Amino acid sequence: MAFLDIANLDKFYGPTHVVKDFNLSVEKGEFVSFLGPSGCGKTTTLRMVAGFETPTSGSIRIDGRDVVNLRPNQRNIGMVFQAYALFPNLTVAQNIGFGLKVAGRRRSEIDERVQEMLAIIHLPELGGRYPFQLSGGQQQRVALARALAVRPQLLLLDEPLSALDAKIRISLRQEIRAIQQKLGITTIYVTHDQEEALSMSDRIVVMNAGVAEQVGDPFTIYNRPATRFVAGFVGTLNALEAVVTDPARGALTIDGQAIVLGRPIEATAGAKVGVALRPETVALGSRPEAGASLRGTVRDVQFLGSVLRVRLALDRQVVALDSFNTAALRPPAVGDDLEVGFATADMLVVSAE
C-alpha cells in the first residue's frame, strides 16, 4: 500500500475535462514531479491533493485515509506556492512558526522549532526580518521552512522556482532536494521546467491536456519516451519522417537513405512513420557496429564552447547533432559534405501523431 494513492481522479470545470482519469501511487519519502506545459492539469491535480479543489470523481488516500472530504486545514499537508505567499505583516520567525501557533503549541516549543528550521534553510540570522526585506530566493526558502515546520506528512510545491532568476533557481533546487532527502518527506513537485524535473525527481509524471502520458524515473522518461509528446517535451529531439520498406527487419528510408533498425516495426510496408533521434546520440563520422549513418550537407554550425551543435541537411529534412568539443578536431564548415552515425537502438519509432 503506497503512502499516497491517487485513483481515477477526474476534474471537470463545467464542460471542460481538465484532469482525465489520473492514477498514481507514491511511496513514502519519494520525490515525484508533475511535468508538463501550462494548462495540462498538473497544478489542478496538485490543488486537489491539497484540498483547494474538489475532484469531480476519484479518491485520494494519504497513509490509507481518503482525504477527499477533508478541508485543507485538516490534511496536515505542507504547501509552497509560486508566489511565496509569506504573510507580509509577520517576521520570518513568525511566518515559520505560524502553523505551530495555530495548533496551540507552547511558545518555547515554537521558538525551538523555528531555530531548527532556520538552520536547515541556512538563514539563521534572518528571523527578525520582514518578507519585504528579503530577496526572492530567501523568501522561498522561508516559505519552505514554514511548510515543513509543522512536520507535515506530505509536501506539495507548486512551481516554486518559476519566479526566480536562473542562477538562484539552480542552487535552490539542489537545496530543496537535499532538504527533502534529509527529512525523508514524501514530496510532489509541479514544474514546466524539464531540467528541474529531471535533476530532482525520483520519478516524473509527464502530463499533457489532463492526461498522464508517462510515469517513470528520469532516465527512462528521457531515453525511452512512450509517446511523441513526451519525446518532444523532454529534451530536444530530431523528429523525422521515414517510410517503412521492410517491417520485419525494421528497414526504412529517410529522405531516400536506407536505415536498418534490426528490430520489427509495427507498420505495413510503405507506411509513413515518425522516428525520433536525440541530438547527443548522433556522432560525427560513421559508426559501423550496431549502427547506421546518414549523409548530408552542413547547413549551420554553432560553437557553444563545450558543445558543438551542427545541423545537417538531408534531401528535405534536417538532422541536428550535439557533440562535445574536442580541441584536436576542428568543427566542420558550412557546405561541407558530412557523414554522421548513430546506434540503431537510439532511433525510436514513435507513432505518428
Partner 1 sequence: MLPFTLFALMFLLVPTMFIVVGAFRAEGGGFTLAHIANLFTPSILAAFSISIRISLASAFLGCLIGFCVACALTVGGLPRWIRGPMLTFSGVASNFAGVPLAFAFLATLGRLGLVTVFLREWFGINIYALGFNLLSFWGLTLTYLFFQIPLMILIVTPALDGLRREWREAAEVLGASRAQYWWMVAFPILWPTLLGTLALLFANAFGAVATAYALTGSSLSIVPIVLFAQIRGDVLQDPHIGYALAFGMIVVTGIGNALYIWMRTRAERWLK
- Assess contact for 341 and 283: CB atoms under 8 A: yes
Q: Compute the least distance from the CB of residue 138 to partner 1, in Å.
A: 14
Query: Given candidates 4, 40, 67, 77, which one binds partner 1 under the rule CB under 8 A?
Result: 77
Under the binding rule (CB under 8 A), the answer on residue 81 touching partner 1 is yes
Query: Given candidates 99, 127, 250, 296, which one binds partner 1 under the rule CB under 8 A?
Result: 99
Binding segment (CB under 8 A) for partner 1, from list 144-152, 246-254, 269-277, 328-336: 144-152
Under the binding rule (CB under 8 A), the answer on residue 13 touching partner 1 is no
Q: Compute the least distance from the CB of residue 304 to partner 1, in Å.
A: 39
Q: Which three cell numbers stand for residue 2?
A: 503506497
Under the binding rule (CB under 8 A), the answer on residue 12 touching partner 1 is no
Q: Compute the least distance from the CB of residue 321 to partner 1, in Å.
A: 44
Between 90 and 239, name the residue whose CB sits nearer to partner 1: 90
Under the binding rule (CB under 8 A), the answer on residue 90 touching partner 1 is yes
Query: Given candidates 27, 54, 66, 72, which one binds partner 1 under the rule CB under 8 A?
Result: 72
**Chain positions contacting partner 1, by CB under 8 A:** 50-52, 71-73, 75-79, 81, 83, 85-90, 98-99, 101-103, 130, 132, 143, 146-147, 150
